[in-house]
Amino acid sequence: MKIRFAVMLAFAVTFLMVGCAPTPIEETAPLPTETEVAPAEAAVVDATGETVIIADASRILPIGGSVTEIVYALGAGDRVIARDDSSLYPRAVNDLDSVGYVRTLSAEPVLALEPTLIITTEDAGPPEAVEQLRASGVTFLIVPTEESMKG
């Protein structure tokens, strides 16, 4: 009985998929060769509850090893301008200058690099440096740090 039901379900799903498949539409107009794309903005609520507007991500400074790995994994590694001491992967990041350790930051060396976007974790510190960076006018995003068995 279970086998019969499974076979009937498989046939039903197959017929639904074949019957509901979209019909290809022929393009008659040529595709544009060059398209100007307006810069996109994104509004994000960070780990502290602040709404952060990201308008320019041309010079990214990820602070924290996990943040750096994620930025590279998302394909934005070519926009990373420096790293912190905990950022060791991918290997290409080791060729970049370091701004110090994520928990012992100093705002002046970070701001001297003229980043347009700083992304860090809740581990960033000391609090005075974090406040200086937030107050500097550079887009500053703090992502949540959740340490668990689930990741």
Question: Cis (ω within 30 of 0) for the bond into 126?
Answer: yes
pLDDT of residue 107: 95
Provide the pLDDT confidence category of residue 98 given band limits of 50, 70 and 90: very high
Residue 63 phi, psi dihedral angles, 5° rounding: -120, 110
Sketch the domain layout of the chain as residue ranges. Answer: 56-143
| Exposure string over 127-151, b if 16+ CB within 10 A, otherwise e | eebbebbbeeebbbbbbeeeeeeee
pLDDT of residue 95: 94
pLDDT of residue 26: 60
Provide the pLDDT confidence category of residue 106 given band limits of 50, 70 and 90: very high
pLDDT of residue 90: 93
Taking the CB of residue 115, how many other CB atoms lie within 10 A of it? Answer: 27
CATH homologous superfamily of 56-143 equals Nitrogenase molybdenum iron protein domain (3.40.50.1980)
Which range, of 12-16, 50-54, 74-78, 97-101, averages the lowest pLDDT?
Answer: 12-16
pTM above 0.75, yes or no: no
